[in-house]
């Protein structure tokens, strides 16, 4: 308890949950870490598909990057329309459910949940990779570092992040600044002629002999699509903007897309011109920065700010996942406790589940970004597609001014993201996307199973007109005892604090002991009847159960209260030395209707 | 429950615990499996020390075996005297405790407990080795086979072995017969000149250059001493013999010692004459049998009966360990539930603990007899020494007819076993005996810790003259509710089945819901008061606890009963969807004096 207070802080009042309105500049910092941070790994993932096939294919990274920037433009336009239509926040779950119905809504929710987990795992793995690129000595400890990073983010989120967006502004703008500086330096080197495409002659010769497989290019494109994860985040947080909320949010989103496109295209171009080849222990961005800046302050600035923005990206999932889980819990698709705010005004259960699952992934995939990527983009693009399709349906039904133009925009969005989803799912299927494709229906089944259970419970406990308030019944109180001691007398004291029929019950396993107990009872029993039961099977439990069954038969309306004198040890491990019989009795009585158990604890002090 | 019945059988009455009296022939079968089975590995363990040092040392196995047979003779004589002195069964714990006091008694008990676990592990490992020697294809699966064998013996013992000694007679006499046949065949081969010592010339030459280290010989002796494990078993089971019990038991023991000595010496001699060298995947006995009989029926008879008698030896520990644990539990040195007989009239807890610990050893040591042996004999010989020393003390105090002669016999026994214990502990120390030497004091500390806890508890719960029976007190019943439904109404029905002050308590987190609940309460509340508590921190738990604290302050004598309406799902996994609040409430109230919790379960049917 004290540990919890120290790590998580004191409880907060409901009234303290005030909404902070963000300026566009702060909002950009708060909401764009997820999207921008993908610059740290997207180019590398494209090269990791192309280069192992043939070095000569590296130049395909430029057209692929351009394709992805085109997709980014389409997505930004499509999402701007969602921002205006859902100013209260339009996540894929809400948009799909309200326009397309329950199944698409649940599909989007399942895809999103998987995504949040992967956002944390991928971002943390990439963040740690940024660090181990700069400090190679840490490379063998990357899994431990990844888990540590998740634990820290988890604790920060359990405390509740109420500290204002300024905390986010510093690393985000530092990252943007550092990368723009890198691109600027690259452009300068290029113009003064110090940089030119490094493609060895031998490779070019080799390329002629080789046909480029379309499948390979599509796989590279799929890998690059991870650059687009997180672009939708702003559309969830419209309420956090200053008025006019939607307009400010849309402008911020456009700004973010511009920065993202510039950085991504710039890094891809530089990687190509510098002839960077992906290495297991150094990231592409680190190689570019090292080649451009040498090992000075600027290099470490790039690596450090990359790490920070990636951790922020992981952090953003810790806001999104519990919010989604609580929305689902309110619709009874998740356990209701997911919608319970902890005493720090955060959805603690969701935060813990997200931390545990992403930590599990980090350990399973040994903090390797490249191994996690194939699982990542499928879910994101599936939820994009469902959102856009939902908007298409919305325009068709709702219409309104300029609905045709809006329909076209979202239509293009829906079609392109659907194509992208198909490409990603098929080209990455064998590399891990199958896991996600198997998981989504399982999660949907879980959602529906939970809801149908809650529905069944509501039906079973609801008071209908047919019911009448119950008529009063008798209650026979039994106190099973093994001898006479203070714990037993305490239970007797408790039992007779309310009037009614009370019987102490002793099972006779040793006639000498029984006689002794009967004598003591005369003195200490407070006038309560003592019933001695025979025990042919020397099973105390069996005799007690028989006796209880007998009463239940004889009194078909009565309650039976079994008051159990229980010794509560001072230390937890001492429990193994006590109460084994009480435990068995409780297990045996748990499913008996009309039998209610009451423990009267006797606290030991040593 | 059904599974348990199927595996373990129906409960038995106490009266069914009749003692079966055994003839000498049956008793030999029942009690000697532990001792005789060690023939299967003792010779091999001697050779395993000698041969790796130098092939020329193999012939030392003969004098070492003779030494061990001498030790066997001394032990048999000493234990005969224990049999006459403790006709009710004289285990090392009883003999040491009654003559030497508590500390030696506990030391013997700790040594014995470790021994029982090792008897199971070593016997099972050796039994599996007998099988994998005959069927080499099973060798890689020996750990799995070992665990499986333990599980089978465990289940048989949980059923309770009431089937008569005849089950034991067949494999034991089959083993004795098969080995005598083997020795006979060996003697015949020798006499017709078909067998002579196989010691290559090169080896003998080499031997001259080599000095034999005494330490090595003592280590070989220590390994061979495992042949003597189990000779004391008859002295624990005197009551099972037909009258005159002690005389019959002593005669049976002498017979067993004769058979054991013959078989052990015979196997050692044959191993030497055949020039058998220990192999990792075939036992020495298997090599001898294969060389003598070829791969025919007789070979498989030797291997099969060896396996069976070793499993019987493991089985005998499943009788001894729980019996010892129950003796310790009666003296409060072990948890009292160790003395509780299960419904099949066996000490189920002890059986399960023994099965689990020996299974753990089998997995840890990968079912390798040779790795387990160094841990084995220390404990056995320590308990031998303590028993004999106890008898020496007994004669000194009790005297009686011929006490001087008896003193000399047990004195020689005590001195020789003490020397053997020292040799074993020192030569095997680095190979694993240290584990046992570290464990014994830890187990003794556990024994004493448990007893001092029980003592403290008895003092705390005992009713002294100073106490008076308690005077009656009030009892305020609270029913925390979240709304009005059938589960809540059931709890109200239960609570008002006894007169007294009853209050339903609702924490106001949503004024609309609260108003609705108040309206429903008017109809369904059975006239019970409904208290609505405010909730500034939206923490239902916090508000409830505050209210309970308030009552405790206001009424310093009253009991408070908290009746919790609990939804009991039809399937266990559904629990995660319910009662999270109830669980937290219970945890918070567990350590409040004067507050007693009562769950009123509402059983869901789907």
Choose the weakest-confidence range: A218-222, B108-112, B342-346. B342-346
d(CA B87, CA B235): 8
Nearest to B577 among A335, A599, A603 (CB): A335
| C-alpha pair distances (Å), A561 with each of A46, A185, A474, A556, B244 | 70, 82, 10, 14, 55
Please tell me the predicted confidence (pLDDT) of residue B63. Answer: 92
CB atoms within 10 A of CB B499: 11
A468 burial class (0-12, 13-18, 19+ CB within 10 angstroms)?
exposed
Confidence band for B274, pLDDT divided at 50, 70 and 90? confident
Q: Would the pLDDT of B281 be above 90?
A: no
Among B327, B336, B239, B343, CA closest to B14: B343
- HEC sequence for B462-529: CCCCCCCCCCCCCEEEEEEECCCCHHHHHHHHHHCCCCCEEEEEEECCCHHHHHHHHHHHHHHCCCCE
Q: Does the pLDDT of residue B200 top 60, yes or no?
A: no
| Residues in Cβ contact with B503 at an 8 Å cutoff, skipping those fewer than 6 apart | B476, B477, B478, B479, B528, B529, B530, B531
> Which residue, among A331, A447, A337, A333, has the nearest Cα to B482 in the 3D structure?
A337
Under an 8 A CB cutoff, do A456 and B15 touch? Answer: no
Q: What pLDDT score does B201 carry?
A: 43
Tokens of A355: 């931390």
Averaged over A49-70, what is the pLDDT?
Answer: 87
Give the residue with greater pLDDT, B55 vs A92.
Answer: A92
CB of A131 closer than 8 Å to CB of A307: yes
Mean pLDDT in residue range B349-353: 87
pLDDT at B204 over 60: no
Q: Confidence class of residue A346 from pLDDT cuts 50, 70 and 90? A: low
Which candidate from A13, A477, A492 shows the least CB-CB separation from B537? A13
pLDDT bin (cut points 50, 70, 90) of residue B180 is very high
* C-alpha torsion sign, points B279, B285, B288, B289: negative
The whole-number pLDDT of residue B31 equals 86
CA angle B475/B477/B481 to nearest 5° reads: 165
As separate numbers, helices (DSSP H) first and strands (DSSP E) second, chain B gives 23, 5
- Quick check: A99 and A441 in contact, CB under 8 A? no
Q: In the block, which residue shows the tokens 């039992």?
A: A495
Alpha-carbon gap: B155 to the closest alpha carbon of chain A (Å): 21
The DSSP annotation for B192-229 comes to TT-------HHHHHHHHT-PPPHHHHHHHHHHHGGGGT
The structure tokens listed for B294 are 């070829």
B596: left (phi over 0), alpha (psi -120 to 50) or beta: beta
Q: Can you give the C-alpha Rg of chain B in angstroms?
A: 33
What is the DSSP track for B169-189? HHHHHHHHHHHHHHHHHHHHH
Whole-structure pTM value: 0.71
A261 close to A72: Cβ distance less than 8 angstroms? yes
Q: What is the DSSP-derived secondary structure letter of residue A441?
A: H
CB contact under 8 A, B475 and A461: no
Whether residue A202 has pLDDT greater than 80: no
Give the C-alpha separation, B265 to B34, whole Å: 17
**pLDDT recorded at residue A257:** 94
Quick check: A463 and B486 CB within 8 A?
Answer: yes
Model ipTM value: 0.73
Nearest to B574 by CA among B544, B536, B603: B603
B chain contacts of residue A343, beta-carbon cutoff 8 Å: 537, 539, 542
- Please state, in angstroms and rounded to a whole number, the distance separating the CA atoms of residues A456 and B462: 50
Mean pLDDT confidence for B377-389? 91
How far apart are alpha carbons A488 and A478 in whole angstroms? Answer: 12
Terminal alpha carbon distance of chain A: 22
Q: Could you tell me the maximum CA-CA distance found in chain B, to the nearest angstrom?
A: 107
Do residues A318 and A157 make contact, with C-beta atoms less than 8 angstroms apart? yes
More confident residue, A123 or A461: A123
From residue A432, alpha-carbon distances to A39, A143, A368, A417 in Å are 22, 20, 13, 20
pLDDT by residue (tens digit) across A206-216? 444 456 788 88
Helices (H), B462-501: 486-495
Token output for A468? 């009448």
- Facing residue for B538 by CB, picked from A14, A580, A590: A14
Nearest to B321 by CA among B524, B98, B111: B111
Question: Residue with structure tokens 């189990």?
Answer: B230
Span A183-206, average pLDDT: 67
Q: Is B11 exposed, middle or buried (0-12, 13-18, 19+ CB in 10 A)?
A: middle
pLDDT band (50, 70, 90) for residue B209: very low
C-alpha distances (whole Å) from A551 to each of A10, A544, A556, A561, B499 are 51, 11, 8, 11, 21
Report the pLDDT value the prediction gives residue A444, as an integer from 0 to 100. 94
pLDDT band at A197, cuts 50/70/90?
Answer: low
Chain segment B355-382, per-residue pLDDT in tens? 999 999 999 988 888 889 888 889 999 9
Contact A421, A387 (CB under 8 A): no
- For residue B160, list chain A residues with Cβ-Cβ distance below 8 A: none
Mean confidence (pLDDT) of chain A: 86
Q: Which residue has the tokens 């009424």?
A: B555
pLDDT reading at A159 higher than 80: no
Compute the CA torsion angle A430, A432, A434, A439 (nearest 10 deg): 170
pLDDT at A210: 54
Mark yes or no for CB contact B494/A559 under 8 Å.
yes
**B550 vs B476: CA distance, rounded Å:** 12
DSSP B160: -
Which token pair is A52? Answer: 């192992």
How many CB pairs (< 8 A) connect A and B?
181
Q: Do B463 and A597 touch (CB under 8 A)?
A: no
Contact between B498 and A487 using a beta-carbon 8 Å cutoff: no
pLDDT at B414 over 80: yes
Task: Give the span between the Cα atoms of B440 and B425, in whole angstroms.
Answer: 13
Is residue A397 exposed (0-12), middle (13-18) or buried (19+ Cβ within 10 Å)?
A: exposed
- Min CA distance, A505 vs chain B (Å)? 19
Q: How far apart are CA A20 and CA A22, in angstroms?
A: 6
Phi (first) and psi of residue B500, to 5 degrees:
140, 180
User: What is the sign of the dihedral through the CA atoms of A242, A247, A251 and A253?
Assistant: positive
Under a CB-based contact definition with an 8 Å cutoff, are residues A121 and A362 in contact? Answer: yes
- B458 vs B204, which has greater pLDDT? B458
Element (H, E) at B329: helix B297-330
Print the SS3 string covering B559-601. Answer: EEEEEEEEEECCCHHHHHHCCHHHHHHHHHHCCCCCEEEEEEE
Q: Which residue of B lies nearest to A580 if distances are taken between CA atoms?
A: B337
Share of chain B above pLDDT 70, in %: 91
Half-sphere exposure of B376 toward its Cβ, with a 13 Å CA cutoff?
Answer: 29
Output the pLDDT for position A322: 86
- Are B331 and B93 in contact by the 8 Å Cβ rule? The answer is no
Q: Which residue is listed with tokens 């008996």?
A: A592
- How sure is the predictor about A193, in pLDDT bands with cuts at 50, 70 and 90? confident
CA gap B488, B509 in Å, rounded: 18
Sign of CA dihedral B44, B50, B56, B62: negative
pLDDT tens profile A472-500: 888 999 999 988 888 899 999 999 888 88
Tell me: the pLDDT tens digits for B1-16? 556 556 656 655 544 4
Under a CB-based contact definition with an 8 Å cutoff, are residues A221 and A74 in contact?
no
Using CA of residue B336, residue B340, residue B342, residue B344, what is the dihedral sign? positive
Of B467, B593, B605, the CB nearest to A603: B593
pLDDT of A236 higher than 90? no
End-to-end CA distance of chain B, in Å? 21
Q: Is the peptide bond before B192 cis (omega within 30 degrees of 0)?
A: no
Phi first, then psi: give them for residue B596, nearest 5 degrees.
-120, 135
Q: Which residues of A touch B494 (CB under 8 A)?
A: 475, 559, 596
Say yes or no for a CB contact (<8 Å) between B577 and A463: no
Question: Quick one: pLDDT at residue B18?
Answer: 47
Closest CA to B323 of B605, B562, B91: B91
- Among A264, A217, A236, which residue's Cα sits nearest to residue A70? A264
CA distance B540 to A209: 73
Task: Please state whether beta strands A475-481 and A529-533 pair in parallel, antiparallel, or not at all (unpaired).
Answer: unpaired
> Does residue A230 surpass a pLDDT of 70?
yes
Cβ–Cβ under 8 Å, residues A312 and A37: yes
Tens of pLDDT along B213-256? 888 899 999 989 999 988 888 888 888 888 888 899 999 999 99
pLDDT tens digits, A374-401: 888 899 999 999 999 999 999 999 888 8
Instruction: Give dist(CA B197, CA B189) in Å, integer.
Output: 12
Take residue B273 and report the two structure tokens written for it: 């004459």
Q: Tens digits of per-residue pLDDT, A439-478?
A: 999 999 999 999 999 898 888 888 877 777 788 888 999 9
CB–CB contact A486 B463 (8 Å): yes
Q: In the 8-state DSSP scheme, what is residue A506?
A: E
């Amino acid at each position: 308890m004290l540990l919890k207070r120290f790590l998580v802080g004191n409880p907060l009042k409901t009234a303290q949950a005030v909404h902070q309105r963000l300026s566009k500049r702060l909002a950009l910092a708060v909401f764009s870490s997820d999207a921008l941070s993908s610059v740290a790994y997207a180019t590398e993932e494209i090269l990791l598909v192309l280069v192992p096939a043939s070095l000569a294919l590296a130049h395909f990274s430029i057209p692929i990057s351009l394709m992805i920037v085109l997709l980014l433009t389409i997505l930004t336009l499509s999402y701007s329309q969602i921002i205006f239509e859902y100013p209260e926040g339009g996540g894929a779950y809400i948009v799909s459910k309200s326009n397309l119905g329950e199944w698409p809504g649940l599909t989007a929710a399942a895809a999103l949940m998987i995504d949040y987990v992967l956002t944390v795992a991928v971002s943390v793995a990439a963040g740690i990779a940024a660090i181990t690129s700069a400090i190679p000595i840490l490379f063998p400890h990357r899994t431990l570092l990844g888990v540590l990073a998740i634990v820290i983010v988890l604790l920060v989120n359990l405390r509740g992040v109420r500290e204002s967006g300024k905390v986010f502004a510093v690393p985000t703008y530092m990252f943007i600044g550092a990368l723009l500086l890198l691109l600027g330096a690259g452009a300068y080197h290029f113009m003064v002629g110090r940089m030119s495409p490094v493609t060895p002659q031998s490779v070019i010769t080799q390329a002629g002999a080789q046909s480029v497989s379309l499948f390979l290019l599509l796989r590279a494109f799929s890998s690059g699509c991870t650059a687009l994860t997180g672009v939708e985040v702003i559309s969830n947080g419209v309420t956090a903007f200053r008025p006019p909320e939607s307009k400010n949010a849309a402008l911020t989103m456009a700004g973010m897309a511009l920065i993202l496109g510039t950085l991504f295209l710039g890094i891809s171009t530089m990687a190509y011109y510098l002839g960077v080849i992906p290495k297991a222990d150094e990231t592409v961005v680190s190689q570019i920065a090292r080649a451009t800046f040498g090992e000075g302050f600027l290099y470490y600035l790039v690596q450090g700010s990359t790490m920070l923005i990636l951790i922020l990206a992981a952090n953003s999932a810790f806001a999104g996942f519990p919010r989604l889980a609580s929305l689902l819990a309110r619709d009874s698709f998740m356990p209701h406790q997911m919608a319970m705010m902890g005493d720090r005004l955060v959805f603690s259960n969701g935060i813990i589940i997200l931390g545990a699952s992403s930590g599990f992934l980090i350990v399973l995939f040994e903090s390797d970004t490249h191994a996690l990527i194939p699982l990542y983009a499928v879910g994101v693009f599936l939820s994009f597609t469902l959102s856009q399709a939902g908007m298409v349906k919305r325009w068709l039904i709702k219409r309104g001014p300029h609905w045709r133009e809006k329909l076209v925009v979202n239509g293009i969005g829906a079609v392109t993201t659907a194509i992208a989803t198909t490409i990603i799912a098929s080209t990455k299927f064998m590399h891990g996307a199958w896991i996600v494709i198997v998981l989504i229906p399982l999660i949907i089944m879980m959602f529906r199973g939970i809801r149908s259970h809650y529905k069944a419970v509501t039906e079973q406990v609801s008071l209908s007109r047919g019911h009448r308030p119950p008529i009063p019944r008798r209650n026979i109180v039994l106190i099973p005892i093994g001898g006479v001691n203070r714990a037993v007398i305490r239970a007797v004291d408790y039992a007779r604090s309310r009037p009614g029929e009370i019987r102490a019950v002793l099972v006779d396993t040793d006639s000498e002991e029984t006689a002794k107990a009967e004598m003591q009872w005369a003195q200490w029993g407070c006038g309560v009847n003592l019933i001695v039961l025979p025990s042919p099977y020397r099973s105390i439990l069996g005799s007690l159960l028989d006796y209880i069954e007998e009463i239940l038969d004889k009194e078909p309306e009565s309650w039976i209260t079994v008051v159990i004198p229980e010794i509560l040890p001072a230390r937890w491990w001492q429990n193994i030395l006590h109460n084994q019989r009480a435990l068995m009795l409780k297990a045996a009585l748990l499913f008996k209707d009309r039998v209610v158990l009451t423990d009267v604890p006797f606290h030991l002090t040593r």
